[in-house]
Structure formats: C-alpha cells, structure tokens
Amino acid sequence: MGEKLAIWKTKHPYTVSRLKKEFQEQGIQAGDSIIFHSAMSKAGWICGGAIALINALQETLTEEGNLMMPSQTSGLTDPSTWENPPVPKEWWEEIWQEMPVFDKDRTPCFHMGVVAETFRALPDVARSNHPFLSLTAWGKHADYLTKGQTLAHGLGENSPLAKLYAFPQAKIVLFGVDNDRNTSLHLAEERSKRIPVSQNKAVLLKNGVRITETFEEAAYDSDRFIEIGRAYEKENGSCTVHIAGAASKIYPMRGLIDFAVSYLNTH
C-alpha cells in the first residue's frame, strides 16, 4: 500500500535529475557537507527508491563534498534499558551473552530507515566504529570524519558530529522528518552544562576475545528536540522546505547547534 499511496499523491516521478534540481533549489551545492536524516514514506514516488535519492545527493555534492548519515545500532545495547519494546527480565542475561558483536562492515543499522541502511552498505561509504552510535560518510573527507570516535561520550567532542560541525558551511537536512530525528542535537546536549551522565556497557571483541566494557555516556534524550527546532525557527525564520513532496528542514549546523546549547543551558 505504501508505494500505491506514493504514486497516488505524486504529480510526476521524482527522478535523479529532478531530485538534483530540487536539492540545488534549496541551497545544496557542489562541495557542501551535510548530515542527512530521512523517511522515504513521507516522499512522493521516487524512481529507483533509496539508491536514486542517494545518487542524487552524491551527484549534487560531488566528491568534493561530504555526505553523512547516522547508522546507529541500538539493538546491541544493554537489554535492561530497552523500552520500545522492553523484553522480559529473565531474557536479559541470555541476550547479553549471545548478542552479536558490532562489526562496522557487517552490522546493519537498527530502525534507521531504508536510506540510511542502503547508504551504509555501499562499498565507498566509510563508517565509524562505535558499537551503538556509529555514523557513515561518503566524500572528500569521509575517512577523516569517521575515524577516532570514542566509546565514551560517543556523540561528543570526539565524534563525527563534532568534526562535521567544524566545517563552516555544514548543513543538517531533515528529509521528511522533524528534529526528534536530528542526531546532531545530541552534540548540543554534550556541550550544554545540564546533561547528566551515567555508566553504560558494550560487548566488544578484543584480541579475538568477547568482553564487556563499561564507559561513561551522556543521558541522550531527544524529547525536547522539536521544541528546540521551533524556538530556533521563531528567532531565525522558517527552515521548512519541500523536497520530492516531503516536508523537510534544512539548518546551518553551527547555527542550530550553538542555539541549542544556549537553549538547553537557559531553559
């Protein structure tokens, strides 16, 4: 029914050429660096599906630019923390002992959508090596962006997000989604003064041996992200655009992150 609905609500097919034109009309140009979040179900009918959307982005940015997407794997976290849905307590230990170890080349994204998973699997896409909070990147600086992510504070100062933030013209593109899906705002949480921290644990493979390692992690919480986005747009004007029929948002990464840090510190 999903594809039928997409065809029904679409006036013309969204081809790679048409998608490139729409991205360019919304200010995305060759050499840009963007982090892209998406929900294909919100778009019109795209000829070729997810890979066509990725092709259009890559052809728009060219190899002089950078394209990043989240590739998180929350299904590898401590099962005692799962809420959506939870699993019975008597399952926890068996799950933890048998859970696959994260492999950045093989482990699929978990509930990140078809575009993020299609992108992750491409041979020329690099991926960071965090067991829960990995990100993928393609383009001129893909290897640089994805190396060095630390286990502790995985979306903080040693993350691909912080590296992308340092690019002066980096953009956040929310394709068919709102700020509750905006991974970049976790960097603002890390930089604010109010986010609590806790101990987390991960299953890792070291020297061929399966181990459990504990580490400090910020208590990431996206519940206020839509509120933050609305407050930013109230001060800076609407960031809503339409691409392939999907209501989308495009933000300057530095502008939104800096605003969010201040907002979290004062609200």
Tell me the per-residue pLDDT of 61-107, one tens digit each, with 9 for 90 and over: 999 999 999 999 999 999 999 988 899 999 999 999 999 999 999 99
**Which residues, 6 or more positions from 159, have their beta carbon under 8 angstroms from its beta carbon?**
128, 133, 135, 149, 150, 153, 187
- What is the pLDDT, as a whole number, of residue 102? 96
Task: Calculate the average pLDDT of the chain.
Answer: 95
Q: What are phi and psi of 44, to 5 degrees?
A: -75, -170
Looking at the 3D structure of the chain, how many domains does it have? 1
Domain that holds residue 145: 2-266
* Placement of tokens 């729409």 in the chain: 22
Other CB atoms within 10 Å distance of the CB of residue 183? 23
Give the containing element (helix H, strand E) for 233: helix 225-236
CA-nearest of 177, 163, 172, 161 to 26 is 172
What is the tens place of the pLDDT at every residue in 101-133? 999 999 999 989 999 999 999 999 999 999 999
**pLDDT band per the 50, 70, 90 thresholds, residue 1:** very low
